[in-house]
Structure formats: C-alpha cells, structure tokens
Structure 1
C-alpha cells in the first residue's frame, strides 16, 4: 500500500505565526495612526485569509471595514508579510515529524489561506520550505478554505490515493469535511472551539505523535 498524501495547514499548525502577524498588523495600523492591538486580539483574527484579517483589524480599530482603507491596509499588510518574517517559529517537533513522514514515503504539501508569497517567506524563514512538494496559498486559486478546492487540487497533483489533512482550527475542520478527507487536529494551535466539539478523526498535542498516527490510521 502506497504512503499517503499528508496536507498541512500553516498558521497555528506547522508554525506559530501569531507574533509575526501581530507585529506586522500593528506596524500597518501605526502608519495609519491607529492604536496597537493585543496579541490575543490579532491571534483570534488568523485563519480565514488576509481579507478577513484586514476587516477584523479595521473593525477592532473602529474604522470602516468597507471603505477605502480596506485596500490600503490589505496592500501594506501583504507587502510587509513577505519581508517581516521574524516571530514565525515552528511548533516543537515539526521538523522531526516532517522528516519522519518523508522517511515513510509520504508526499507532503501545505494548503494555507495565507497568500502564497508570504507563506513561502515564512516557510523559508523557519527552514521548512524544502520539505514540501507543493504549497497552495490563499491567492493561488479562485477560492480559499473552507472551500475544498485547495485540498482537491493538491491531492490530484500529488498523485491521489490516501490523504489526510492536518490543521488546528474550525476552518480546517470544515475544510476537511467539505473535502471528505480524514482530519487530524493539532490541539495547540489557534482554535476557539473545545476539542470535543470540533469535528475530527483524531487529535494530537505533540508532533512526535503524528508519524505514528499516519502510519497506523485506519483509512
């Protein structure tokens, strides 16, 4: 039996990016004369793509999320995303887990709502870029998660067969369900829902567990 395709979310799953996103967001807001937001505030905005992040930043700043500031903030945010990568760190055990999965013959990919170029920059910064055969960002296709197109495209490009999706959030759970893909929930990311209430096939809190999960998963 061939090894499966293992597809990962990025923010809150492979990397703790909230500190970097927090810094970038506050830098953009400061340039416009707005007050800084807290890390928990910005972390709660992560996961649904840049347009949602921009809207939430503006709403939290008591600004018009549907006015001309939207495009200005979005453009500035994406530009900084590609260069201001300090604060992105892999979760403990991620590099070792990816190496072990590759050793099992798994084909590895990332599907993230973060735009492609910032996703590439973050992955290169933390030394994980070379681990993945394919990365699809939030601007790579006409739709983004929880639409299942990202997962379907990735699965097809990596040869089909068995697939498992690894993520941390409500959006990831919904995406897996929409794609009819098994879902492994990393419990230490950015979810707001209790683990027991978030649909998943299996949950894990330590990336050292993931290779065994993939090896022994009942497909």
Structure 2
C-alpha cells in the first residue's frame, strides 16, 4: 500500500540477488528435471554466448506438463537471502517504494511480491493450459524490458528516475543501473560492480540500507 509520501523507489533483482548464488529458474528446473541444462544456459548467458530468449525457451520446455500448483508449492522452499522482509519494511518506512525488477518467471515474482509486500513485479510469462504449463513462452522479457518496466513504474509513481535505486548482481541489471540515480551491486559479477555506484557483499539484504539511506537523504 502506498502512503502518498514516496520520495523514490528501489528496484530489486531476484536471481543472484534475493536468491543467492543461483537462480529461481535453476532451483525450479532442478525440481522439474532439467536443472543441469538451465545452469549451463545461464552460464552461457552470463558471458554473452546466449541471449535471454534462447535461455527462456530452453527452460520453458522443461516445464511442460507441470501444474501451476506444483510450482507454487515448490516456491515456498526457494532459497533466499536474509533480511528481505525487514528491507522492504525499511523502504516503505523511509518513503521508498520497493519493486521487483527481474527476469525471473512471473510465478516467482508474484510469489515474492505477495510474500514480502513488494509493490509490483516484472518478468517473462509461461504459457498455461487448464492449469498446466505447455512448455512454451507466452511473453519474453529481457534486460531492456526490465529497464523499461522500472522506468514505467517510476513514471506511474510520479518519480524522477534519478530519485530511484536498483539492487542487482549481473548482466541483466546493467541497462537499469545506467538509468537510475543509485545502483548497488549486491554479491555481484565484475561487470555489475564496474557499472554500479556502490558495492555490497553480504548474506543479509539489510546491509544495503546504509547506501539506500544516503539516497533518501539526498532526495528529501
């Protein structure tokens, strides 16, 4: 719920950021039986050998026949960094709207938004038929869509992108990092560290709060 006293927004990545040292796709693919293939594809994406569309189509094929309920139930065991709930509460208490800007599949974003109270979420969508996944992508979503989603969220909230921050870890965060006033590389790749305005290494998301606090002080 928004209070009308927003001074900015913070866009949080999921895979590699809120989900540490892996991705939600790899976690779910392990359950669905194609984990090794997804891990190899994500490694290839990280170095630029595959694009997001190729990775998404490979991963989606492994979802064929799985039920939406099976996946939703599995998400309760998704590995997460400590301090997400507290960080979201701090953001809301300090006039920052917490948003998930991610390439994770939409069931993951929906689950985490409901669980922790994020204002909105982005992501690609999987095709379903009568409650089961077909193995096809219904909507692709890449790193530039992620940036555009975040900027659209800022506009809808009446916020200048320079009053917004992003917390992420990898290649998919770079276009967004270049479009907001503050970017935090959290347990990040070398490329993300080089592009970010601040770097934090921690197992607890609350360790980004001093950086976000400086942004709040600057925009008030």
Same fold by TM-score, threshold 0.5 exceeded? yes
Q: Retained in 1: the 8 A contact 2:56–2:140?
A: no
Against the structure 1 CA distance between its residues 142 and 157, is the aligned structure 2 distance closer, same or farther, given a 3 Å change threshold?
farther
- Judge which range, 86-95 or 43-52, deviates more: 43-52
Q: TM-score, normalised by structure 1?
A: 0.67
Q: Retained in 2: the 8 A contact 1:17–1:88?
A: no
* Unaligned residue ranges in structure 2 (runs of 5+): 126-137
Partner residue, 1:193 = 190
Does residue 184 in structure 1 map to residue 184 in structure 2? Answer: yes
Partner residue, 2:130 = none
Deviations 1:37-73 (A, max 9, x none): 2996476378875751543x6xxxxxxxxxxxxx643
Alpha-carbon offset, residue 5 of structure 1: 0.8
Partner residue, 2:209 = 211
Against the structure 1 CA distance between its residues 99 and 91, is the aligned structure 2 distance closer, same or farther, given a 3 Å change threshold?
same
Q: How does 1:24-39 map to 2 (within 5 A)?
A: 24-29=28-33, 37=36
* Unaligned residue ranges in structure 1 (runs of 5+): 31-35, 58-70
Alpha-carbon offset, residue 192 of structure 1: 4.3
Q: Retained in 2: the 8 A contact 1:15–1:88?
A: yes
Against the structure 1 CA distance between its residues 6 and 176, is the aligned structure 2 distance closer, same or farther, given a 3 Å change threshold?
same
Q: TM-score, normalised by structure 2?
A: 0.67
Q: How does 1:14-25 map to 2 (within 5 A)?
A: 14-16=18-20, 18=22, 21-25=25-29
The number of residues matched between the two structures is 191
Q: Retained in 1: the 8 A contact 2:24–2:108?
A: no
Q: Retained in 1: the 8 A contact 2:169–2:189?
A: no
Against the structure 1 CA distance between its residues 17 and 42, is the aligned structure 2 distance closer, same or farther, given a 3 Å change threshold?
farther
- Judge which range, 160-169 or 147-156, deviates more: 147-156
Q: Retained in 2: the 8 A contact 1:22–1:42?
A: no
Against the structure 1 CA distance between its residues 91 and 172, is the aligned structure 2 distance closer, same or farther, given a 3 Å change threshold?
same
